[in-house]
Amino acid sequence: MGSKAEGPATASPFPEPTAATPPASGTPFQRVTPGPTVPAGHWRWIGRTIDEKSDPLPGVCVHIGPGDCQFNSVRTDDQGRWVIDFPQVDVMYEFHFVKEGYQTVDQTIETKGPGQFEVRLIPKT
């Protein structure tokens, strides 16, 4: 039979995260704009989201695959730009562009190399 724990169970305290806390090793997502150099073994995809007047649309959630936008989903910057680095593998990705008050845009992309595209979001009526 198993041994029985004695006394109250206590958890070790975790340090409070701060703005200076780096992501944990192996963290798959970072909310940091990729640097100017594409990591080895990756292809860079860049894009821009615009509104119905062709003006840049900031704050658009760009997520890939099923599900919804999450805290770690890519967001467009103040110029409507986004950047994602993908492993160099020929794969079909389902992109979803989501912003409150706008119709969601779904776009299938096959990564056979670096690429770029622009997406126009139309306000909901």
61-64 vs 74-75, strand pairing mode: antiparallel
pTM: 0.70
- The answer to the question of residue 21 being in a domain is no
For residue 66, the domain's CATH number is 2.60.40.1120
Q: 52 lies in which domain range?
A: 42-119
Half-sphere exposure (CA, 13 Å, Cβ side) for 72?
6
- Between residues 35 and 101, which one has the greater pLDDT? 101
Residue 13 located in a structural domain = no
Does residue 54 lie within any of the structural domains?
A: yes
The confidence score (pLDDT) of residue 29 equals 46
Residue 11 lies in a domain: no
Residue 2 domain-assigned (yes or no): no
* Distance between CA atoms of residues 117 and 34, nearest Å: 17
- Of 17 and 110, which is predicted with more confidence? 110
How many structural domains are present in the chain?
1
For the cut 90, the answer to whether the pLDDT of residue 116 exceeds it is: yes
Instruction: Give Dmax (Cα) for the chain.
Output: 71
For the ranges 40-44, 73-77, 98-102, the maximum mean pLDDT occurs at: 98-102
Neighbours of 102 (CB within 10 A): 18
Q: What is the mean pLDDT of the chain?
A: 80
Residues of the chain with pLDDT > 70, as a percent, come to: 73
State the pLDDT at residue 34: 66
Give the contacts of 118 (CB within 8 A, at least 6 positions apart): 47, 48, 49, 50
Q: Report yes or no on 1 lying in a domain.
A: no
